[in-house]
Amino acid sequence: MRSTRPKSSRSAAGTLIRVLGLVGLGVAVIVLTRVGQTPRPGPAVAAGPAGAVTYFLTNTPAPPTTATSQARTRATRQAEQAATSIARATRQARQATATLPLPRAVPTPNPDAGIALAGAPTVTVPVCTEKGGQIVRENVIGATLPHSIPVQIYLPPCFDATHNRYPTLYLIQGSGDIEGQWERVGLLGEADRRIMAGELPPFLIVMPDNDIEEGDVSIFMYTAEGPGSYEDYVVNDVLPLIERKYGAWQDVAGRAIGGISRGGYWAIEIAFRHPDLFGAVGGHSPAISSEFLNGTPEDFSMLMMASTIDALKTMRVWLDVGDEDTWTMRGPDELAQALVADGIPAQFKIGIGTHDNDYWSTEVNNYLDFYTAPWRGVAPIKLTR
| Residue 66: per-residue pLDDT | 40
Whether the CB-CB separation of 14 and 80 falls below 8 Å is answered with no
CA distance linking residue 178 with residue 211, whole number of Å: 9
Q: What's the pLDDT band for 345 if we cut at 50, 70, 90?
A: confident
| Residue 349: per-residue pLDDT | 96
| Residue 297: per-residue pLDDT | 67
Handedness of CA 233, 234, 236, 242 (dihedral sign): positive
Whether the CB-CB separation of 278 and 238 falls below 8 Å is answered with no
| More confident call, 133 vs 210 | 133
pLDDT tens digit string along 170-191?
A: 999 998 788 899 999 999 999 9
pLDDT tens digit string along 78-127?
A: 443 444 444 444 444 444 433 323 233 333 343 333 334 443 344 445 57
Q: How far is CA 72 from CA 26, 177, 241, 250, 328, in A?
A: 10, 14, 38, 42, 16
Per domain, the residue ranges of the chain are: 11-384
pLDDT tens digit string along 220-246?
A: 887 777 788 899 999 999 999 999 999
Buried b (16+ CB within 10 A) or exposed e, 197-217: eeebbbbbbbbbbbbbbbeee
The overall average pLDDT reported for the chain is 74
Strands in 267-342 per DSSP E: 280-284, 316-322
Q: What's the pLDDT band for 219 if we cut at 50, 70, 90?
A: confident
What count of other Cβ atoms lies within 10 Å of the Cβ of residue 120?
A: 9
Q: What's the pLDDT band for 213 if we cut at 50, 70, 90?
A: confident
CATH 3.40.140.10 is held by the domain 11-384: no
Buried b (16+ CB within 10 A) or exposed e, 80-93: bebbbebbeebbee
DSSP 216: G
